[in-house]
Amino acid sequence: MTQNALTPGIVAGRLDPDAYADKFADLHPPLDDHEAFVAADRCYFCHDAPCITACPTEIDIPLFIRQIATGTPEAAAETILGQNILGGMCARVCPTETLCEQACVREAAEGKPVLIGRLQRYATDRLMARNSHPFTRAAPTGKRVAVVGAGPAGLACAHRLAMRGHDVTLHDAHQKPGGLNEYGIAAYKTVDNFAQAEVDWLLQIGGITVETGKRLGRDLSLDTLRAGFDAVFLGIGLGGVNALGLEDEDKDGIADAVDFIAELRQAGDLSKLPIGRDVVVIGGGMTAIDAAVQARLLGALNVTLVYRRGRERMNASRFEQDLAASKGVRIITNATPRAIHGNGAVREIEFEYTDDDLAPTGQTFRLPADQVFKAIGQTLEGEELPKLDGRKIAVTGAGRTSLKGVWAGGDCAAGGEDLTVTAVAQGRDAAEDIHASLMG
Amino acid sequence: MADLTSNFVGIKSPNPFWLASAPPTDKEYNVRRAFEAGWGGVVWKTLGEDPPIVNVNGPRYGAIWGADRRLLGLNNIELITDRPLETNLEEIARVKRDWPDRAIVVSLMVPVNEESWKAILHRVAETGADGVELNFGCPHGMSERGMGSAVGQVPEYVQQVTEWCKTHTDMPVIVKLTPNIADIRKPAQAAKDGGANAVSLINTINSITGVNLDNFAPEPTIDGKGAHGGYCGPAVKPIALNMVAEIARTPELHGLPISGIGGVTTWRDAAEFMALGAGNVQVCTAAMTYGFKIVQEMISGLSHYMDEKGFASTADLVGRAVPNLSDWQHLNLNYVTKARIDQDLCIKCGRCYAACEDTSHQAISMSEDRVFEVIDAECVACNLCVNVCPVEGCITMEKLAPGTVDERTGQVVQKDYANWTTHPNNPGKCAAE
């Protein structure tokens, strides 16, 4: 029987087989040469530009845009990648509307910022299309560094260390490097297997040995790494997922949004990926949005995103909220899940309206749900880690932890905004600090 | 609605907007389209002797562009008409017959001998054309054959040919001047002395628009080589305005009618040329960039402007800015201004700061939170910040009232006019009267 949007339950193939490619096409198609020139012309080349300050990796944005405008996109890419080796991915996934483009003076002047993110992609795509790597390694230092976690922080750290002449072993628990770039970001933001292509390009620097399927605490121990390497960088991300704390949370149909996204990203054929008819996503961050939008794109009839506080408190940017709404996701705010109903599998989920301080109102409602995705935050997992600050690894300066010779960065480290671009900045800066320590 | 009708040396047209002698006026087809669009007149593309010249078969134009590929300057290596003389004359006669209220002036370029000029003038007169324009301006190709700017650069030739033409025709004679000369007043004087009814200027400026950095050929490139061309378009307007004004304000040239040419793109450009003394304007590059329809904006724009100013006819506008053109030495040194930044309009780009700090007088401060303010004690009122600010009206120059102290000099601003000629630092100063 052919499935469609009305089919109850969690089934695959709700859409026409040809529809998936369109649905999951590039969210922001790349600029062509003409569009890039028009967009670049709008940059005012500000003095000490606010967009640079707003970028966690402090890319010299006016300079790279001027390099595009003058017909040298490869030079522009070097300006970008010199600060942010994952500039290609950041061009795709950065919430530019709350970073560089929010700071753009043309946002103040006209409400229309220069398209910084898309110009960055234009430049980095041009360079990567040549499949050449513009950076070279310094003379070998003889030092060896272990980087744990091949996500944005680990990759940035490994690349910078390799550039400085150190030998790096890059470990990751997954089968592929890339971290959240590979497993945790909506497919329409990074099409055509870009995450792996970027890793492959990054590794062209040389001096980086990748060891996948190696999880800290299972296959690796921090003590061994500290003994075997001159320094260790932890970029292990947040492996655990917060629970709702409700009874029957293990009913069929209830899953973690991060697992759903990872499964979708690794799926060879999206028409084979089952999705519910009535999907409820609980959470208010980017993961919640990515899960909700992709559930709709897979053909779910009703997708509701429910967040416990008001809309202003959602971690997802206004752009992301609007994107979800435009794809037909219904957003309900100020509602906290209270109970899961259903016999064996989830059938309904019950919420209570709560104010921004989560004070209960006593008013409840139920949403039909054959599939529920939890996206209420991730947590650090692992034993024998350096000292924590709250629920993350405490760091001082450029990622120094309580353990000598151990640095940390990215989502697992305290502070920062849990963005790809912040992780890159932290990995890069930790690498420079490691380099200074080793050579000092 | 203001009266835009124009009477330029006896040639009447419904408005002062003519198309200059150039590709847009090379053929009957184009000129009919121009008149249908509303152009007041045309100067027909330059006629020469048969056999017709030939043009290159590669690119004829080069260009420079501003933001969003807005064409700012155009360069050409096209020559005069490459069609037989008879063909052009027949077409001119037909168009003039069908459009009697529009001006048709015919541009001419023949070798420097009286017989050649006499012969072609008689042919043109038979078409019913309203006048002739002597092309002493084209700086490429024809000049190598002793015509065009090769004539315009020698005042004696200008006068001689003008005299021949005045001898052999009753039609008004307009002399088109080349800007490729040190002092525009000299050929203008020669034209006047030769009896010209008017001068028109500027023709194009010697130029190379670019160099191909792969094959190292100047652009436009013909089979790997390039030759200089003639430059026109918005980029040349300031040069043209100055040359028009130089003629308009020179007492010896007083009363010599001027047809203003050079980068006229909008009604405002036209009004500026007219205020500096041009009786009408000729347009080419703007039409070549946007098509003939732009004349509709020129007509409505000039008309609205004249209504607002209460000008009954274009004569009220022509020359109105000429008395305000001065020499530097007569500018008022007691006029003291300071830059003022409107914080509400400021978008905090900091270009004023970069310009002042790096290249000028360190007269703008920048705070941690990007507030930019003028330091009066340093501001020399150069206006660079105004010019580099992307927001029109955000930075202005404000006059200090007499009696206030200029913080830069510590001097009280005087209300009286004073200029360099009486300044104590001037070694050659003359005593105030």
A125 to chain B, minimum CA–CA distance in Å?
22
- Domains contained in chain A, CATH given: 19-25+241-378 (3.50.50.60), 33-129 (1.10.1060.10), 144-239+380-439 (3.50.50.60)
Query: What residue type is assigned to position A237 of the chain?
Result: G
In the Cβ-directed half-sphere of A64, how many Cα atoms lie within 13 Å? 32
Are residues B347 and A49, on separate chains, in Cβ contact within 8 Å? no
Q: Domain residues of chain B, as ranges?
A: 6-324, 328-422
Say whether A46 and B351 touch across the interface (CB within 8 A).
Answer: yes
Count of pairs with CB atoms under 8 A, one residue in A, one in B: 34
Measured distance CA(A133)–CA(A203) in Å, rounded: 9
| First-residue to last-residue Cα distance in chain B | 48
Q: Cα distance from A109 to chain B (closest Cα, Å)?
A: 6
- DSSP-based three-state secondary structure for B405: strand
Mark out chain A residues that contact chain B at CB-CB < 8 A: 37-38, 41-42, 44-50, 105-106, 108-109
Question: In the predicted model, what is the mean pLDDT of chain A?
Answer: 95
Mutation for testing the B interface, residue in A46, A72, A112 having most B CBs under 10 Å: A46
Option in B67, B349, B366 nearest A105 (CB): B349
Cis omega before residue B202 (within 30°)?
yes
Among candidate residues A86, A191, A194, the one with its CA nearest the CA of residue A421 = A86
**Pairing mode, strands A371-374 and A254-256:** parallel
Q: How far is CA A265 from CA A191, A270, B392, in A?
A: 10, 9, 49
The maximal CA–CA distance of chain B, rounded, in angstroms, is 77
Q: What is the pLDDT of residue A440?
A: 86
Chain B residue whose CA is closest to A38: B68
> Helix, strand, coil: what percent of chain B each, to 5?
35, 20, 45
**What six digits make up the tokens of B306?**
């004249």
pLDDT of residue B23: 97
Scanning B233-293, the segments in alpha helix (DSSP H) are 237-248, 267-275, 285-290
> What is the tens place of the pLDDT at every residue in A62-109?
999 999 999 999 999 999 999 999 999 999 999 999 999 999 999 999
- The interface pTM score, or ipTM, of the predicted complex is 0.84
What distance in Å separates residue A121's CA from the closest CA in chain B? Answer: 20
- Closest A-chain CA to B69: A38
Tokens of B84: 């037989």
Query: In chain A, whose CA is at the least distance from the CA of B358?
Result: A47
For B33-65, write each residue's pLDDT tens digit. Answer: 999 999 999 999 999 999 999 999 999 999 999
Q: Alpha-carbon distance A27 to A188, whole Å?
A: 5
> How buried is A73 (Cβ within 10 angstroms: 0-12 exposed, 13-18 middle, 19+ buried)?
buried
**Is A191 within 8 Å of A92 (Cβ atoms)?**
no
pLDDT value of position A56: 97
Test A50 with B348 for CB contact under 8 angstroms: yes
Residues of A in contact with B385 (CB under 8 A): none
Strands B103-108 and B131-135, by their bridges, are parallel
Chain B interface, best mutation among A33, A37, A41, A47, by max B CB count within 10 A? A47
- The CATH homologous superfamily for domain B6-324 is Aldolase class I (3.20.20.70)
CA-wise closest residue to B274 among B326, B323, B319, B325: B319
A69: closest chain B residue by CA = B67
Integer Cα distance of B283 and B91 in angstroms: 21
Please tell me which of the candidates A37, A42, A105 has its beta carbon nearest to residue B348: A105
Collapsing DSSP to helix, strand or coil, B281 comes out as strand
What one-character DSSP code corresponds to residue B366?
Answer: E
Contact list, B394 vs chain A (CB under 8 Å): none
Q: What is the pLDDT of residues A136-147, one digit of tens each?
A: 999 999 999 999
- Which residue of B64, B72, B341, B349 is the best one to mutate when testing the A interface, meaning the one whose CB has the most A CBs within 10 A? B349
Calculate how close chain A gets to B359, using CA atoms only, in Å.
13
Residues of B in contact with A108 (CB under 8 A): 347-348
pLDDT, tens only, A218-271: 999 999 999 999 999 999 999 999 999 999 899 999 999 999 999 999 998 999
Distance (Å, whole) CA A248 – CA A250: 5
Contact B347 A45 (CB under 8 A): no
Give the number of other CB atoms < 10 A from CB of residue A277.
Answer: 23
Minimal C-alpha gap between B69 and chain A (Å) = 8
Q: How does strand B61-65 pair with strand B41-47?
A: unpaired
Backbone angles phi, psi at B383, to 5 degrees: 85, 0
Query: In sequence order, which residues have a C-beta less than 8 Å from that of residue A199 and are 6 or more positions away?
Result: A150, A155, A177, A178, A181, A182
**Alpha-helical runs (H) found in A144-203:** 152-163, 180-183, 194-203
Q: How far is residue B261's CA from residue B21's CA, in Å, rounded to a whole number? A: 10
Query: What residues in A contact B350, CB-CB < 8 Å?
Result: 46-49
Q: How far is CA B3 from CA B18, B35, B212, B267, B317, in A?
A: 16, 19, 49, 15, 12
**Does residue B433 carry a pLDDT above 80?**
no
Selected for mutation to probe chain B from A44, A53, A72, A110 (highest B CB count within 10 Å) is: A44
| Amino acid B431: pLDDT | 58
**Residues of chain B with C-beta less than 8 angstroms from the C-beta of A105:** 347-349
Where does the pLDDT of residue B278 fall: very low under 50, low under 70, confident under 90, or very high at 90 and above? very high
Residues of chain B found within 8 Å of residue A46, distances taken between Cβ atoms: 348-351
- Tokens, residue A392: 């993350």
Question: Quick check: bond before A134 cis, omega within 30?
Answer: no
pLDDT at B242 (0 to 100): 98
The per-residue pLDDT for B213 is 95
Name chain B contacts of A42, Cβ cutoff 8 Å: 67
CATH code at B328-422: 3.30.70.20
Mutate one of A105, A106, A112 to test the B interface: name it (highest B CB count within 10 A).
Answer: A105
Q: Quick one: CA dihedral B119, B123, B128, B131, positive or negative?
A: negative
pLDDT band of residue A4 (cuts 50, 70, 90) is confident
The SS3 of residue A252 is: strand
Contact residues on chain A for B366, CB-CB shorter than 8 A: 47-48
Q: Please give the structure tokens belonging to residue B128.
A: 């019913």
CA distance B59 to chain A (A): 23
> Strands B229-232 and B71-76: what pairing?
antiparallel
End-to-end C-alpha distance for chain A, whole angstroms? 69
B349 is catalytic: no
> Percentage of residues in chain B with pLDDT exceeding 70?
99
Name the phi and psi angles at A181, rounded to 5.
-60, -35
User: Chain B contacts of A111, Cβ < 8 Å?
Assistant: none
Q: Reduced to 3 states, what is the DSSP secondary structure of residue B141? A: coil
CB–CB of B351 and A49 under 8 A? no
The pLDDT of residue A324 is above 70: yes
Query: What is the DSSP secondary structure assignment for residue B344, as one 8-state letter?
Result: T
Chain A residue numbers touching B353 (CB-CB < 8 A)? 47
Q: Which of A262, A145, A55, A396 is nearest to A409 (CA)?
A: A396
pLDDT in tens, A376-399: 999 999 888 999 999 999 999 999
Across the interface, whether the CB atoms of B351 and A47 are under 8 A apart is answered: yes
Across the interface, whether the CB atoms of B349 and A38 are under 8 A apart is answered no
Closest CA to B198 of B281, B258, B280, B248: B258
> Which residues of chain A lie closer than 8 angstroms to B351, CB-CB?
44-47
A55: distance to nearest CA of chain B, Å? Answer: 16
> What does the pLDDT read at residue A74?
95
Distance from CA of A54 to the nearest CA of B (A): 13
Nearest residue to A183 via CA among A147, A218, A152: A152
- pLDDT, one tens digit per residue, over B161-190 is 999 999 999 999 999 999 999 999 999 999
Instruction: Using an 8 Å CB-CB cutoff, list residues of chain B that contact chain A.
Output: 67-69, 347-351, 353-354, 366, 370, 390-391
Contact B350 A48 (CB under 8 A): yes
Cα dihedral A149, A153, A155, A160 in deg (nearest 10): -130
Q: Which of B348, B353, B354 sits opposite A108 (nearest CB)?
A: B348
Angle (nearest 5°) at CA B338 between B332 and B341: 145
Per DSSP, chain A holds a count of helices (H) and strands (E) of 17, 17
Nearest to A46 among B67, B68, B350 (CB): B350
Is residue A145 packed enough to be buried (19+ CB in 10 Å), middle (13-18) or exposed (0-12)? buried
Distance CA A345, CA A370 (A): 7
B364: helix, strand or coil = strand
Provide the b/e sequence for B203-231 (b: ≥16 CB within 10 Å). bbbbbebbeeeeeebbbbbbeeebeebbb
The answer to whether the CB atoms of A45 and B69 lie below 8 A apart is no
CA pair distance B176, B188, nearest whole angstrom: 9
Report the distance separating Cα A48 and Cα B176, nearest Å: 50
Summary mean pLDDT of chain B: 96
